Structure 1
Amino acid sequence: MAEFDFVIVGAGSAGAVLADRLSEDGKYTVCLLEAGGSDLNFWIWMPIGYGKAFYNKSINWMYHTEPDPGLNGRSGYWPRGKVLGGSSSINAMVYIRGQHADFEDWKAMGNPGWGWDDVLPLFKRSECNEGGADDYRGGNGPLHVSSTDKSVHPLCGNFIEACEQAGFSRNPDFNGRTQEGVGLYQITARDGFRMSTARAYLSRARKRRNVCIETKAHTTRVLLEDGRATGIVYRQQGAEKTVRARREVILSAGAVNSPQLLMLSGIGDGEELRAKGIPPLVHRPAVGKNLQDHLGLDYLYRSKVPTLNQQLYPWWGKLAQGIRYVLTRSGPLSLSVNQAGGFVKGNPKAERPNIQLYFSPVSYTRAPKGKRPLMNPDPFPGFLLGFQPTRPTSRGHICLRSGHPFDPPEIHPNSLSTNRDLSEMIEGSRLMRRIAASPALQSVIDEEIMPGPAIQSDEQMLEDVRNRCSTIFHPVSTCRMGPDAAENVVDARLKVYGIDGLRVVDASIFPTVTSGNTNAPAIMVGEKGSDMILQDTRAA
Structure 2
Amino acid sequence: MFLGESLLKISSIASLTNFLSLVLQPRPVDPPGIFETPISNTYDYIVVGAGSAGSIVATRLSEDCANVLLLEAGGTDLDDERTQIPLMWFFLQGTAMDWGYWTVPQKFSHRAMKNERSYWARGKMIGGSSAMNAMGFVRGSRFDFEQWEREGATGWGYDKVLPYFKKLENAKLTDYGNCGNFILYLETRGKFGPIVVNQESATPLSFFHLKAAAEMNLPVIDCSDQNPRGICVTQSNIKNGTRCNSGNCYLRPALERQNLQILFRKNKAVGVEFVKDNKTIRVFAKKEVILSAGVIGSAQILLLSGIGPTEHLRQMNINVKSNLPVGKNMQDHLDFFLKYNINMSLNTNSENFATPRRILNFVFNKKGIFTGSGGDVNVFTHTCRKMNEGPNIQLTIIPTAYEKDAVEDLFLNLKNEVVKEHLKRVNSNSFQVILYILKPKSIRFTRRLEKTSAWKSINATYIRHDTPNHCSEIEYDSDDYWECMLRHFTRRGDHQMGTCRMGSVNDPSSVVDPRLRLVHYLEQIQE
Deviation per CA, 1:126-174, whole angstroms, max 9, x where unpaired?
Answer: 11112499531111111111121xx531111111211221232221x12
Aligned mates of 2:133, 2:268 — CA distance in 1: 35
Aligned mates of 2:272, 2:523 — CA distance in 1: 12
Superposed displacement of residue 300, structure 1: 0.5
Superposed displacement of residue 351, structure 1: 4.1
Superposed displacement of residue 464, structure 1: 1.4
What is aligned with 1:68? 106
**For the structure 1 residues 125 and 55, does the alpha-carbon distance in structure 2 shift closer, same or farther, using more than 3 Å as the test?**
same
Of 55, 61, 74, the match for 1:36: 74
1:9 aligns with 2:51: no
1:292 aligns with 2:313: no
Aligned pairs (5 A) from 1:495-510: 495-499=517-521
Of 370, 379, 395, the match for 1:342: 379
Aligned mates of 2:448, 2:337 — CA distance in 1: 14
Aligned mates of 1:86, 1:446 — CA distance in 2: 37
Task: Extract unaligned runs of 5+ from structure 2.
Answer: 1-39, 174-182, 414-425, 467-471
Of 508, 513, 522, the match for 1:486: 508
What is aligned with 2:304? 264
What is aligned with 1:137? 189
What is aligned with 2:321? 281
SS in 1 for 2:77: coil
Superposed displacement of residue 244, structure 1: 1.1
Deviation per CA, 1:318-361, whole angstroms, max 9, x where unpaired?
Answer: 33321221122111111112220121122335743211111111
Of 259, 262, 270, the match for 1:218: 259
Aligned mates of 1:245, 1:445 — CA distance in 2: 62
AA aligned opposite 2:371: S
Contact 1:17 1:197 in 2 (8 A): yes
Superposed displacement of residue 275, structure 1: 1.1
What is aligned with 1:407? none
Contact 2:141 2:225 in 1 (8 A): no
Superposed displacement of residue 213, structure 1: 2.4
Aligned mates of 1:83, 1:458 — CA distance in 2: 44
Aligned mates of 1:137, 1:295 — CA distance in 2: 29
What is aligned with 1:440? 454
Of 243, 247, 256, the match for 1:194: 243
1:167 aligns with 2:217: yes
Aligned mates of 2:523, 2:136 — CA distance in 1: 34
**For the structure 1 residues 22 and 357, does the alpha-carbon distance in structure 2 shift closer, same or farther, using more than 3 Å as the test?**
same
Aligned mates of 1:341, 1:268 — CA distance in 2: 38
Deviation per CA, 1:247-270, whole angstroms, max 9, x where unpaired?
Answer: 111110111111110010011112
Aligned mates of 2:134, 2:386 — CA distance in 1: 31
Aligned pairs (5 A) from 1:280-359: 280-284=320-324, 286-310=325-349, 312-313=350-351, 317-349=354-386, 351-352=388-389, 353-359=391-397
**For the structure 1 residues 134 and 309, does the alpha-carbon distance in structure 2 shift closer, same or farther, using more than 3 Å as the test?**
closer
Aligned mates of 1:442, 1:362 — CA distance in 2: 19
Aligned mates of 1:494, 1:186 — CA distance in 2: 29
Of 480, 488, 510, the match for 1:459: 480
What is aligned with 1:363? 401
What is aligned with 2:31? none
Aligned mates of 1:177, 1:477 — CA distance in 2: 21
Contact 2:202 2:399 in 1 (8 A): no
Of 81, 85, 93, the match for 2:123: 81
Contact 2:99 2:122 in 1 (8 A): yes
Contact 1:248 1:501 in 2 (8 A): no
Identity of aligned residues (%): 32
Contact 2:196 2:244 in 1 (8 A): yes
1:91 aligns with 2:133: yes
Q: CA RMSD in A?
A: 2.4
Deviation per CA, 1:225-251, whole angstroms, max 9, x where unpaired?
Answer: 122211111122322221111111111
Contact 1:362 1:383 in 2 (8 A): yes
Contact 1:222 1:233 in 2 (8 A): yes
Of 395, 419, 430, the match for 1:382: 430
Contact 1:42 1:49 in 2 (8 A): no
Contact 2:51 2:129 in 1 (8 A): yes
Deviation per CA, 1:67-91, whole angstroms, max 9, x where unpaired?
Answer: 1112136101100111100110011
State the aligned residue count: 448
Aligned pairs (5 A) from 1:99-110: 99-110=141-152
Superposed displacement of residue 272, structure 1: 1.2
Aligned mates of 2:267, 2:162 — CA distance in 1: 35
Deviation per CA, 1:105-131, whole angstroms, max 9, x where unpaired?
Answer: 111111211111100000001111124
AA aligned opposite 2:67: T
Decide which structure has the larger Cα Rg and report it: 2
Superposed displacement of residue 16, structure 1: 0.5
Deviation per CA, 1:257-292, whole angstroms, max 9, x where unpaired?
Answer: 1111001001111221111111101121x1111111
1:237 aligns with 2:273: no
Contact 1:2 1:244 in 2 (8 A): yes
Contact 1:229 1:500 in 2 (8 A): no
SS in 2 for 1:202: coil
SS in 2 for 1:258: helix
**For the structure 1 residues 350 and 298, does the alpha-carbon distance in structure 2 shift closer, same or farther, using more than 3 Å as the test?**
farther
**For the structure 1 residues 348 and 134, does the alpha-carbon distance in structure 2 shift closer, same or farther, using more than 3 Å as the test?**
closer
Aligned mates of 1:178, 1:302 — CA distance in 2: 32
AA aligned opposite 2:235: Q
Contact 2:141 2:226 in 1 (8 A): no
SS in 2 for 1:162: helix
Task: Extract unaligned runs of 5+ from structure 1.
Answer: 207-211, 392-420, 503-540
Contact 2:98 2:122 in 1 (8 A): yes
AA aligned opposite 1:341: N
Aligned mates of 1:2, 1:17 — CA distance in 2: 23
AA aligned opposite 1:323: L
After TM superposition, the structure 1 stretch with the greater mean CA deviation from structure 2, 340-349 or 13-22, is 340-349
What is aligned with 2:498? 477
AA aligned opposite 2:459: I
**For the structure 1 residues 458 and 134, does the alpha-carbon distance in structure 2 shift closer, same or farther, using more than 3 Å as the test?**
closer
Aligned mates of 1:364, 1:234 — CA distance in 2: 44
**For the structure 1 residues 370 and 348, does the alpha-carbon distance in structure 2 shift closer, same or farther, using more than 3 Å as the test?**
farther
